[in-house]
Structure 1
Amino acid sequence: MYSYFISVAMLISAYFIYGKYLEKNFGVDSRDTPVTTMNDGVDYVEINWKKALLIQFLNIAGLGPVTGAIAGAMWGPAAFLWIVFGCIFAGSVHDYYAGLISMRHSGKNIPELIGKYLGKGAERFIKIVTVILLIIVGIAFITGPAEIMKSYTGISKEIWLFLIAIYYIIATMLPIDKIIGKIYPIFGASLIIMVVALMASLLIKGYSIPEVSFQNLHPAGKPIFPFMFVVISCGAISGFHSTQSVLMGRCLKSEFSGRKAFYGAMIIEGIVALTWAAIAIAFFGGTEGLAQSGGGMVAISEISKSLLGKAGIILVGFGVIALPISTGDTAFRSARLTIADAVGIEQKSFKNRILVSAPLFLVAGFMSQLGFTTLWRYVAFTNQILATFTLWMCTYFLIKNNKNMFVTGVPASFMTGVMTCYILMAPEGLRMTGSVPYFGGVIVGIVSLVLVINKNKVSKNTGYLKEA
């Protein structure tokens, strides 16, 4: 029980302590931001930091810190450690610096920034990865709610797919302040209130949250490394978040708002993920009970109804329908902007927005025939690959600006090791067994950091002009 509250305290403290250091390290100042110099009334529209915080939180959350945290809880309280330290030193830094660097470069999307700092080959690769990730996230968050609504109403999945898709098209095409800027802050605040209500009910009803442990309690014996670090993405670190930081980075009037909107939103998401992981373990009496529950949507439904009664039914409806839809439409919005930037089509014109969006939704319509589970299997890999490249991009930005590069370089190296091991070991990877995947991950992770440290030394000896 104490571990949970200590973990929450650490996350909140990190915002004021480590977040403040990161702000100073980056060197935020009062220069004009993209929304001041490039306001187009569509994607570059001023939004105050309070609304931006709640929109960013909702955009990066959806069901990620709920379903991902529940899946990660299968390893037991060890999940608490990754959520806390991953959120503080990897995910929050990733989201914050991705947003700030985009603001320093006229609101450019992540692939273009990766191309600037890591080279054109990396840019081409990440453009493909990013668009695939955004489309899959968007489709998964059409398919999931549609399947749930079918079970609730008896109306066919195809009709719900059509209705949700119509909303996505409207939300993707309209200026960001028309729907997203008005409704999403309310949804974001509601999600926070619901999580607090669930935890309060859990404690009032006498459930016991286990203390932090390094022990692997996964019922199937699946290794903690690298699988838990990929399964728990939202709440620890997620590449998808960088695409959403760009959206809000185009709307903030001051760089000083970045810590509140980006680092703050990720800290809140870490608390949400930590809370759901704790609730899942406590409610089902451990990982064996959690495994028998069926996990995912089934576990969410049972927990919510049991802890909150009739209000829980509303929570389930809101959680599995409204939240994923709100994340799905911003995924498509990010995909539209990424494609538009890649091919050089400005988006102030409504006609141009249709030109880019039409083929995007045609592809999405075809892929939506796949089930939610099938789609979601491909999210984890592309998501963490994007996060790894984004961290390295941030690291090279810091090197070129003579800043402390270790704040992003160390988590980038760690994630490089995680993804290397995952590719070597995972069923959708090379399926290698034994110690080779672990050695491979450790070696590649360390070597990558050593090379960047050497790059940093060279830059200090030769001197770099500041990039921004």
Structure 2
Amino acid sequence: MISFLICLCLLIAGYFTYGKLVDSTFGPDDRETPAVTINDGVDYVVLPQWKLFLVQLLNIAGLGPIFGALQGALWGPIVFLWITLGTIFAGGVHDYFSGMLSERNNGYSIAEVTGKYLGNTMKSIMRVFSVVLLVMVGTVFAVGPAGLIVQLLSSKGVTGAFANTAVWLAIILAYYFIATFISIDKIIGKIYPVFGICLIIMAIGVVIGLPINGFHTPELWDHFYNMHPGSTPVWSFMFITVACGAISGFHSTQSPLMARCLKSERQGHFVFYGAMVAEGCIALVWAAAGVSIYETTGGLNTGLKEILAGGQSVAIYDVCVKTMGNIGVVLAMLGVVACPITSGDTAFRSARYTVADWIKMDQESFSNRLKLCVPLLGCGAFLGFGNSFGIFSYAVIWRYFSWTNQTLAMLVLWTGSMYLVREKRNYWVCAVPATFMSAVSATYFLMAPECLGLIPFFTNNTAVAYPLGIIIAAFFLYLFIRASKKYGTNQNAHLAHA
């Protein structure tokens, strides 16, 4: 368990060191925030810092750092490195800049912010991209909890309508509609901090329960190889699978919610970078549980693969019970049912923000909010019930979500890079992880079975995907450097003319 503890300490240290560097690079000041200048009583509402942190954590977490980390544990303890380094140098940077750039631009959605720094073409792409992602996220975070509720009730002998996934999915979607529609401080601001605390307590319970129940966490240096039973390549499948636990584009769609509620820019380090570090710690705990509890065969995580084959709800429930007993059942209900639901409703709320910013529709009136809530929740219901009745596969939705997720993160990091160019600050803070994520996203697209891997020639063809992915990332970096130089030249010409 030494390597796990080292990674945990690095995450915490990263918040106080690299996180502070990121904060100073951006340069927060004492200007009035949108929560103060706009304050419409619906979406722009001042909230205290501790509440901002817990709501942000809950908004970005959900099933992501739990299910993604358990899936990532199939590759073995090497997943610890990605969660730790990804959180510090990529995920924290991404979350911080997505939140602070939104705050600097009247709390606008990430699509509008991206368009300001990368151009109108990218704005149009991001509008569609982010809305599709948010609807998929909302669907994933409705179907998952509905399945877990049925799993919990079935284990207690409950049968009938309330042991039906479709029934619970309908209940969750009805709640989503209410939470998406009403003022942010009515439900989200009041009860979400409680569930955020439950998510943290659950992670603490799992990590304490591992040694107490005799589970041995393998060391990174003793298992520095691919332990995936399906021989799935580490690069870039692991980096896509463990999305929310290291870096996630979904977070950039959630950060504007709290960007509209900051009282001061100086809260950004704690709220945005801090929440990402907390999520990284939670993901690390669940990854440790995945590599510790289940048996290996021939150095491969066959036991974990078997439990995951029964569905993510079954795996999460099993970990809670084995580490915390009956208390784990209660925490599984609170932490892994309530928390994803609360991320799902804010996903649909963010989708409403994005479309409203897109078509410039004021959201103070009930009728305008209703016009957007109905079609967005309708799309989510179509996907969710499609999964319940076997039309769509939850696993397929999750894989598309994961790739879309990381591609969005890449675009947001490039946005942050261009902002820093304009502000004449150290743009490499964003440009380096942006280049890395460009390689990850491109490589995955070239060989994943739900992307170009549909074509037999590309399926898991690392000989083609690896070099092409690097070339594509290098090309993106070249475009960025060229754009930054062009911007500098134009600025100098403007000054000379003035």
SS of equivalent to 1:370: helix
Instruction: Provide the C-alpha distance between the structure 2 equivalents of 1:43 and 1:290, rounded to a whole number of angstroms.
Output: 42
SS of equivalent to 1:258: helix
Report the residue type matching 2:465 in the other structure.
P
Q: In the TM superposition, what is the alpha-carbon distance from 1:309 to its structure 2 partner?
A: 1.1
Instruction: Provide the C-alpha distance between the structure 2 equivalents of 1:102 and 1:426, rounded to a whole number of angstroms.
Output: 33
- Answer yes or no: is the 8 Å Cα contact 2:400–2:450 preserved in 1: no
Q: In the TM superposition, what is the alpha-carbon distance from 1:457 to its structure 2 partner?
A: 4.0
- Answer yes or no: is the 8 Å Cα contact 1:402–1:460 preserved in 2: no
Q: In the TM superposition, what is the alpha-carbon distance from 1:122 to its structure 2 partner?
A: 1.3
Query: Of residues 304, 312, 315 in structure 2, which corresponds to 1:290?
Result: 304
Does 1:181 pair with 2:195? no
Aligned residues: 466
Instruction: Provide the C-alpha distance between the structure 1 equivalents of 2:280 and 2:383, rounded to a whole number of angstroms.
Output: 31
Report the residue type matching 2:48 in the other structure.
N
Structure 2 alignment gaps of length 5 or more:
388-393
- Cα deviation, 1:285-310, whole Å, max 9, x if unaligned, reads 44222122236222211121122111
Matches within 5 A, 1:48-447: 48-151=48-151, 152=153, 153-154=158-159, 155=161, 156-213=164-221, 214-286=224-296, 287-294=301-308, 296-371=312-387, 372-431=394-453, 432=458, 433-447=461-475
TM-score normalised to structure 1 length:
0.96
Identity of counterpart residues, as a percentage?
A: 45
SS of equivalent to 2:65: helix
Closer, same or farther: CA 337–219 of 1 in aligned 2, 3 Å:
same
- Answer yes or no: is the 8 Å Cα contact 1:392–1:412 preserved in 2: yes
Instruction: Provide the C-alpha distance between the structure 2 equivalents of 1:203 and 1:246, rounded to a whole number of angstroms.
Output: 39
The equivalent of 1:31 in structure 2 is 31
Q: Which moved more, 1:344-353 or 1:296-305?
A: 296-305
- Cα deviation, 1:362-412, whole Å, max 9, x if unaligned, reads 222222222233432321121111111111111101111101111110110
Instruction: Provide the C-alpha distance between the structure 2 equivalents of 1:400 and 1:338, rounded to a whole number of angstroms.
Output: 25
Q: Which moved more, 1:182-191 or 1:366-375?
A: 366-375
Instruction: Provide the C-alpha distance between the structure 1 equivalents of 2:216 and 2:413, rounded to a whole number of angstroms.
Output: 37
- Answer yes or no: is the 8 Å Cα contact 1:35–1:44 preserved in 2: yes
TM-score normalised to structure 2 length:
0.90
SS of equivalent to 1:368: helix
Q: In the TM superposition, what is the alpha-carbon distance from 1:461 to its structure 2 partner?
A: 5.0
Instruction: Provide the C-alpha distance between the structure 1 equivalents of 2:146 and 2:277, rounded to a whole number of angstroms.
Output: 30
Report the residue type matching 2:264 in the other structure.
S
Q: In the TM superposition, what is the alpha-carbon distance from 1:191 to its structure 2 partner?
A: 1.1
Structure 1 alignment gaps of length 5 or more:
none
Matches within 5 A, 1:440-455: 440-455=468-483
Closer, same or farther: CA 122–38 of 1 in aligned 2, 3 Å:
same
RMSD, aligned α-carbons: 1.6
Instruction: Provide the C-alpha distance between the structure 2 equivalents of 1:229 and 1:139, rounded to a whole number of angstroms.
Output: 22
Instruction: Provide the C-alpha distance between the structure 2 equivalents of 1:426 and 1:163, rounded to a whole number of angstroms.
Output: 34
- Cα deviation, 1:41-94, whole Å, max 9, x if unaligned, reads 000000111100000001111111000000001001110111000000000100
Instruction: Provide the C-alpha distance between the structure 2 equivalents of 1:266 and 1:345, rounded to a whole number of angstroms.
Output: 31
- Cα deviation, 1:89-138, whole Å, max 9, x if unaligned, reads 00010000110011111111111111111112211111111111111111
Q: Which moved more, 1:193-202 or 1:311-320?
A: 311-320
- Answer yes or no: is the 8 Å Cα contact 1:63–1:319 preserved in 2: no
Report the residue type matching 1:61 in the other structure.
A
Instruction: Provide the C-alpha distance between the structure 2 equivalents of 1:437 and 1:347, rounded to a whole number of angstroms.
Output: 45
- Answer yes or no: is the 8 Å Cα contact 2:198–2:334 preserved in 1: no
Q: In the TM superposition, what is the alpha-carbon distance from 1:430 to its structure 2 partner?
A: 1.4
Closer, same or farther: CA 18–434 of 1 in aligned 2, 3 Å:
closer
Does 1:47 pair with 2:47? yes
Q: In the TM superposition, what is the alpha-carbon distance from 1:323 to its structure 2 partner?
A: 1.4
Q: Which moved more, 1:280-289 or 1:27-36?
A: 280-289
Instruction: Provide the C-alpha distance between the structure 2 equivalents of 1:374 and 1:262, rounded to a whole number of angstroms.
Output: 30
Q: In the TM superposition, what is the alpha-carbon distance from 1:187 to its structure 2 partner?
A: 0.6
